[in-house]
Amino acid sequence: MATNRAFSGARAKLFFDTSKEVGWATGVNGQETIQLQRIDVLGNIDSVEIEPIGRSVSVTMDLVRIIGKSLQEMGIWPRGGTAEVIDFPEMSIEVYDSIGDKPIYKIVGAKAETRSWRVDRGGVMSKNVTFQARRMFDEQGV
């Protein structure tokens, strides 16, 4: 059982570590899940309580491909072998609405998990990247 909070946007500007602007995204989706555990007692049909036992954050984004700007060049995906992947640092991601000057979401402790690419009929090539993260904050902060 989980409680979810989700966002998505087509006008998003993305920054990694507050200085690396990634470019255009055709879709950004983030999800924060609080895992819950029912506390049941033998002989009682109703749960005694429901306790939070964990939190997870995931983010998915479809980035429009820009020639010469691979995920590795932008510092989002590790380049190299085992040691480089293990030592790749956590990132922070800031999501801005294109009409605002404050981030609408900030994701901290993000690590890239998957990458894929797609070519659409109209000739636009996009890169899909998913991340696991430790925390997600909205425009109100903590």
Residue 142 reports pLDDT greater than 70: no
Q: Is residue 44 part of a domain?
A: no
pLDDT at 86: 94
The phi and psi torsions of 89 (rounded to 5 degrees) equal: -75, 155
Q: Is residue 78 part of a domain?
A: yes
Q: Is residue 47 part of a domain?
A: no
pLDDT at 4: 57
Q: Is residue 39 part of a domain?
A: no
Q: Is residue 127 part of a domain?
A: yes
From the centroid of its chain, how far is CA 86? 19
pLDDT at 99: 67
Reference 115, options 57, 63, 58, 56; nearest CA is 63
Contact (CB, 8 A) for 135 and 57: yes
Lowest average pLDDT, out of 35-49, 95-109, 121-135, goes to 95-109
Q: Is residue 64 part of a domain?
A: yes
- Looking at the 3D structure of the chain, how many domains does it have? 1
Q: Is residue 46 part of a domain?
A: no
pLDDT at 60: 93
Q: Is residue 82 part of a domain?
A: yes
Percentage of the chain surpassing pLDDT 70?
A: 84
Domain region containing 116: 7-29+58-138
The pTM assigned to this predicted structure is 0.78
Residue 11 reports pLDDT greater than 80: no
Residue 117 reports pLDDT greater than 70: yes
What is the pLDDT of the chain when averaged over all its residues? 84
pLDDT at 112: 92
Contact (CB, 8 A) for 98 and 50: no
